Amino acid sequence: MAYSDKVLEHFKNPRNVGTLDKSKKNVGTGLVGAPECGDVMRLQIEVDDATGVITDAKFKTFGCGSAIASSSLATEWIIGKNVDEAATIDNMEIVEELALPPVKIHCSVLAEDAIKGAIRDYRIKNGLPVEEEVKAH
């Protein structure tokens, strides 16, 4: 199976690879997937408490090229967005942007879950309300 140019581009030049300081109160971490499933994604956000805007995001991903591209794209999209806005990103937007084939849809689901996980962690750390959203994949 050939990869789309966009997947290749993100894979070759992944944006925002790295680690944020978990001990900071305004950093939220989402860790999703499992080594046994062949994919683990960690996405972190740093939020400006006053405005609720995501000022930085970093990821590390164990997974295929599509998973790496999905997480790279996710960090790119959420930086500069308000937390509430970022929480609405849907995996299908990632699928469309990266032209992922059906077998790679779950890689984008992982990215959506990682964003939501990071936001949830940030909210819990800061005593903010967490909406229990359960989405069926």
CA distance 46 to 73: 17
Distance CA 110, CA 41 (A): 7
How many other CB atoms are found less than 10 A from the CB of residue 49?
A: 10
Q: Tokens 């994919």 identify what position?
A: 39
What one-letter code names the amino acid at 61?
A: T
User: What secondary structure letter does DSSP report for 12?
Assistant: H
Closer Cβ to another protein, 51 or 130, answer by number = 130
Of 22, 24, 38, 92, the one binding another protein (CB under 8 A) is 38
The interface partner of residue 31, options being ligand FES, another protein, none and the CB cut-off 5 to 8 Å by kind, is another protein
Binding mask 91-130 for ligand FES (x = CB under 6 A): -------------x--x-----------------------
Binding residues for another protein, rule: CB under 8 A, are 3, 11, 14, 17, 19, 31-42, 60-65, 67-68, 103, 106, 109, 113, 117, 137
